[in-house]
Amino acid sequence: MANVTFPFPFPANMEILLPEIIIAVMAMVILLFDLFVSKEKKQISAWLAIATCIAAAITTVNVTGSESMMTFYGFFVQDYFAAFTKLLMLAATVFGIILSLDYMKEETNIGEYYALMLFALLGMMLMVSATNFITMYLGVELMALSVYVLVGYQRDVLRSSEAALKYFILGSLSSGMLLYGISFLYGTTGNFDFNLIGEALANSGDSARTATLVGMLFVLAGMAFKVSVAPFHMWTPDAYEGAPTPVTAFMSVGPKVAGFAILMRILVDAMPALEHDYVTVLLWMAVLSLAVGNIAAIAQRNIKRMMAYSTIGHVGFVLLGLIAASPEGYAAILIYMTIYLFMTMGTFAIIILMRRDGIQGELLDDFAGMSKVRPGYALAMGLMMFSLAGIPFLGGFWAKFAVIAAVIDAGHLYLGLAAIMFSAIGAFYYIRVVKYIYFDEERVAFNFSDNVLMKATVALTSIIIVVIGVYPDPVMDVCRMALAGLV
């Protein structure tokens, strides 16, 4: 960070901020646009939001060079790693908007809804491009505040408001922890910049070790909340269940990608000297997440709650990549996130299609006998469930394989075995869904909506899962390449 004096000079390399600028401007445009159009035309804001994401994706690809570039006096970085995770988040947002098209049609002020999604996206994109705790915190809060509102968007639905309030209160607590941790690290190193903190910690010796560890732990805890790592996961089932289903889909991918991306940056740049300590903490977090996610899901009857625990379990797997603390581990995280994006979006698309004529379509019972009425959706849901369970040859298998291989290579054999064991337990509740679909009798009449984009989403995600499952090499290569900016 250069010493900046007032008045600020115009920052160099401003063009790398272009994707973020597009999103910020368009989010505000949509907000205003919504006020001036009649009710029938409000859907246009959804299309505008999708167009914005596509434009941002194109600019992201265009402004990223093989060298990592900084702007805003070193506060913002754009490299392959940031670009790749941004593309994942943009894809998650596009999917989220597509899933919302029918679901949110009846709501008022849907312009606000899409604008909030874009603001959340903006926050995530700031996070992954952060080079220091200040930019990171700015992104985290922008994302979190937008998502709190999104969760409670159906303000007349009790469980939606309740979920939002719980999420907000606990989120504030976690933000407090995060800031507390940052202040400790600032206290011991005198810096916010990741790289400078890293250097300082490497050279400091044991003088301020206790304070450093406290700082590290609180930062980890704050971030762990955002990515629903046990024991900071308690908000997840309630928020997932209460939120409108498209928001559930969005928040189970977008913030997770952003959170893990910035965790990787922090651990690689700022805390290499503390590797031994953060690995022991993460190890327990991973085991707890795997256990809670995979076991508690068995007791759920609501599929959105089940998917919440599923997320916790998957986050446990992703943590294995951080524990490996090796390039293979980080690449495995990116692979996991990429495949997880498609699996989750496909699953939630089908769940949303289940909502019909006054039935929420969220209970496992509602899926009974689907194969006889809609064999196509039934097959897609079956593929998603098998993939989430990690059955070869579907994408989910390679995701799990990559992280487990990485963590075993790093010498944590028992953790790898535990992960495999929990994966076996988890397979039960995924395959139970398939059992409901294929082996049970229809209980309530099915009446699916015929939105073409939703159908396309289901088909596309299913195909991607199968293709990645059969031939994973290209995706894995891209993920390894994306690491160039990080390590």
Partner 1 sequence: MQEVLTQETLSTVELLAIPVLPLIGAMVVGLFGWFLKERLSHWITCTLVIASTVLSIHVFIQVMGGASFHGNFWTWIISGDLDIPIGMMIDRLTTVMMMTVTIVSACVHIYTIGYMHGDPGYSRFFSYISAFTFSMLVLVMGNSFFTLFFGWEAVGLFSYLLIGFWYQRETATVAAMKAFIVNRVGDFGFAVGILAVWYYFGTVEYSKVFAAVPALVESGVSLSFLSWDVSAITFICLALFVGAMGKSGQVPLHVWLPDSMEGPTPISALIHAATMVTAGVFMVARLSPMFEYSEVALAAVVLVGATTAWMCATIGLVQNDIKRVIAYSTCSQLGYMFVACGVSAYSAGIFHLMTHAYFKALLFLAAGSVIHAVMAEQDIRKMGQLRKYMPVTYVTMFLAALALSGIPPFAGFFSKDLIIEATAVREMGWVSDVAYYAVISGVFMTAFYTFRMFFLTFHNSDRVPAETKAHLHESPKVITIPLIILAVGAVLSGWIGVTYLEMGELGAYFDGSIFVLDQHNPLMKLQVLEHDHGQSHFWLENGPLILALSGIGVAFLMYFRETKYPAMIANTLPRLHTFLLNKWYWDELYEKAIIRPTRHLGTWFWQKGDLGMIDGKLIHTGIVDSIKEAAARLRAVQTGMVYHYAYAMVIGVFGFLTYLMLNA
Binding footprint of partner 1 on the chain (CB under 8 A): 165-166, 169-170, 173-174, 177, 209-210, 213-214, 217-218, 221, 225, 230-232, 234-235, 237-238, 277, 280-281, 284, 292, 295-300, 425
CB closer to partner 1 out of 166 and 256: 166
Cβ 265 to partner 1 shortest distance, Å: 21
Tell me how crowded residue 169 is: count the other CB atoms within 10 A of its CB: 11
* DSSP alpha helix (H) spans, 354-451: 370-373, 375-389, 395-409, 413-439
- How far apart, in Å, do the first and last CA atoms of the chain sit? 20
Does a cis peptide bond (omega within 30 degrees of 0) precede residue 246? no
Cβ 232 to partner 1 shortest distance, Å: 5
CB closer to partner 1 out of 284 and 471: 284
The amino acid that residue 358 corresponds to is: G
Take residue 56 and report the two structure tokens written for it. 């941002």
Cβ 184 to partner 1 shortest distance, Å: 12
Cβ 306 to partner 1 shortest distance, Å: 11
The H-or-E segment that residue 350 falls in is helix 327-353
Take residue 183 and report the two structure tokens written for it. 């202040």
Greatest Cα pair distance, the chain, in angstroms, is: 72
The amino acid that residue 370 corresponds to is: M
Residues 6+ apart with CB under 8 A from 437: 367, 368, 369, 370, 371, 378, 381, 382
Residues 6+ apart with CB under 8 A from 178: 137, 140, 218, 219, 221, 222, 223
CB closer to partner 1 out of 90 and 217: 217
Cβ 107 to partner 1 shortest distance, Å: 25
CB closer to partner 1 out of 113 and 397: 397
CB closer to partner 1 out of 55 and 279: 279
Q: What is the DSSP letter of 41?
A: G
CB closer to partner 1 out of 82 and 418: 418
CB closer to partner 1 out of 49 and 312: 312
Cβ 251 to partner 1 shortest distance, Å: 17
User: From CA 474, how far away is CA 468, in angstroms rounded?
Assistant: 8
Cβ 295 to partner 1 shortest distance, Å: 5
Take residue 195 and report the two structure tokens written for it. 């790289």
